[in-house]
Amino acid sequence: MRVVRQRRTRTIAWVTTLVVLQGISSAAATLLAAAATPVAAASPAAKPAVSTSPVELGRYLAIAGNCATCHTAPGGAAYAGGLAFETPFGKIHSTNITPDKQTGIGNWTVAQFTQALRSGERANGDHLYPVFPYTSFTKITDTDATALFAYLKTLAPINAKAPENEMSWPYSMRSLMSVWNAMFFDAGAFQKDASKSAEWNRGAYLVQGLGHCSACHSPRNFLGGEKSSLAMTGGTYNDQVATGELRPWAAPNLTGAPNGLAGWPVAEIVSYLKTGKNAYAASFGPMNEVIMNSTRHLTDSDLRAMAVYLKSLSANEGELNGPAKQDVLNAGASLYDLHCGTCHQPSGLGAADSGPRLAGSLIVQASDPASLINVILHGPQLPEPPPPTGEWQHMEAFGEKLSDEEIAALTSYLRSAWNNKGGEVTAEQVARQR
């Protein structure tokens, strides 16, 4: 596998949660929304074909799980680990999953590897931290776990020891994870739903398991467990952009709610995952690396299966913000007419040759406005290369033109106009993103 051109250091506050990754920390980012130029991770030169060969199947599964993104440090060898994760609880580094016997998984057995995926335990029995998404990877079947291990064993062994973690107490105590697991972790391989189609079940397996989409798209409680009642309604996390600035971002709602995927047909979800663009949106920020390094390389049938499953999720608007005051909305409307209406249209519906629609937009209506604020302040960082379809007009950054109060008014208006349900944004929220 080749390494994509460049990589930036990526920082995730365990999706705004309690603890942080270590051990065999694999693919941590997923369908979501927002940050800088795509990281360079190991990515195939051409779309892989799903094969009955365990090694080739494992190669495909590694791409579906986006494993290289978190296991490749800036300028480092693919899968050799060392990528730093800055969290509120300290710094942690992804580990080496090449077959090196001193610093990688060269001495692991397939049973130990499966244990890490299925139970969140390292080869020596120590608990892993849940930024390594074993809470999702537990659903991987034995066949797929064996194939993934077979592929990793074919990689060139790289002697590269991860730097020591710098976690504060008590988060450095792995033994506490047994309590967390008892509270928030349901272990076990994916079980098919006999009442659903084979396509739906395949999509559920990919989204819930390998894709670990809920890791970014579900809100967390104060202990870092996913809020099951709000699953897939959007989450918040931190990411370090190419300039080195740590910035919060938000993943949008993926349920069938009006502030989620209600308006996106299956074909448009497939287009977004395959090209980074559809009739409703273009990818930017961390989602770029998900598409570049993972979803664009999946088969059309797998992408459709994922879309079919996502479209079946029951509507859940999630945690909505309160409405903005009328004077704030009036100020925001004036700013929209002056700076935005030409490309996005007074109706908010956008146009094929000018700008994406804002009415009904997932990003505009996200429970946390972080990603929307980032785009207005800093401009969108689009995929490289950009989507192959027709381009919208380039959007400039407004951080130098508008004050925090003005951007708060503008975003409040965007999140309230055209039946949008995003709610109020404050100047303090803008200042944090700035």
The distance of Cα 128 from the centroid of its chain, to the nearest Å, equals 20
How distant, in Å, are the alpha carbons of 200, 211, 370, 382 from that of 193? 9, 19, 36, 38
pLDDT of residue 29: 34
Paired strand residues for 278: none
pLDDT of residue 27: 34
Contact 41, 82 (CB under 8 A): no
Contact 21, 226 (CB under 8 A): no
pLDDT of residue 174: 83
Name the token pair of 357.
């629609």
Q: Which of 15-29, 84-98, 353-367 has the highest mean pLDDT?
A: 353-367
- Decide if pLDDT at 393 tops 90: no
**Res. 386 pLDDT band, cuts 50 70 90:** low
Selection from 18, 102, 93, 97 nearest residue 58 by Cα = 97
Q: Which residues of 217-233 are buried (b: 16+ CB within 10 A; e: fewer)?
A: bbbbeeebbbeeebbbb
Paired strand residues for 238: 248
Cα–Cα dist 375/414, whole Å: 13
pLDDT of residue 285: 77
Mean pLDDT value of segment 367-372: 93
**Res. 142 pLDDT band, cuts 50 70 90:** very high
Paired strand residues for 251: 235
Mean pLDDT value of segment 396-416: 95
Q: What does the CA dihedral 106, 167, 241, 7 come to, rounded to 10 degrees?
A: -10
Name the token pair of 384.
């490289």
φ, ψ at 396 (rounded to 5°): -80, 165
**54-98 pLDDT tens trace:** 999 999 999 999 999 889 888 899 999 988 877 667 777 888 999
Contact 133, 27 (CB under 8 A): yes
pLDDT of residue 128: 86
pLDDT of residue 246: 62
Pairing of strands 166-167, 90-93: antiparallel
Mean pLDDT value of segment 239-265: 81
Looking at the chain, the whole-number percentage of residues with pLDDT higher than 90 is: 59
pLDDT of residue 7: 36
Count, in order, helices (H) and strands (E) of the chain.
17, 7
Cα–Cα dist 174/190, whole Å: 26
Average pLDDT over the chain reads 84
- Decide if pLDDT at 361 tops 50: yes
Question: Is the C-alpha dihedral spanning 211, 216, 220, 222 positive or negative?
Answer: positive
- What structural domains does the chain harbor? 8-311 (no CATH), 326-433 (1.10.760.10)
Beta-sheet strands, E only, within 35-176:
42-43, 84-87, 90-93, 166-167
Q: Which region among 17-21, 130-134, 224-228, 363-367 has the lowest average model confidence (pLDDT)?
A: 17-21
**Res. 168 pLDDT band, cuts 50 70 90:** confident
Q: Which region among 46-55, 60-69, 347-356, 398-407 has the lowest average model confidence (pLDDT)?
A: 46-55
Hey, is 93 helix, strand or coil?
Answer: strand
The distance of Cα 424 from the centroid of its chain, to the nearest Å, equals 24
- Decide if pLDDT at 262 tops 70: yes
Cα–Cα dist 275/383, whole Å: 9
**34-59 pLDDT tens trace:** 333 333 333 333 344 566 799 999 99
Structure-model confidence comparison of residues 201 and 286, the more confident one:
201
- Decide if pLDDT at 235 tops 50: yes
Mean pLDDT value of segment 160-170: 87
Name the token pair of 184.
């928030």
**Res. 396 pLDDT band, cuts 50 70 90:** confident
Mean pLDDT value of segment 394-410: 92
Residue type present at position 78: A
Structure-model confidence comparison of residues 164 and 390, the more confident one:
164
pLDDT of residue 36: 31
Mean pLDDT value of segment 137-142: 96
Pairing of strands 235-240, 2-3: unpaired
Paired strand residues for 351: 355
Cα–Cα dist 388/268, whole Å: 15
Contact 216, 15 (CB under 8 A): yes
Structure-model confidence comparison of residues 222 and 429, the more confident one:
429
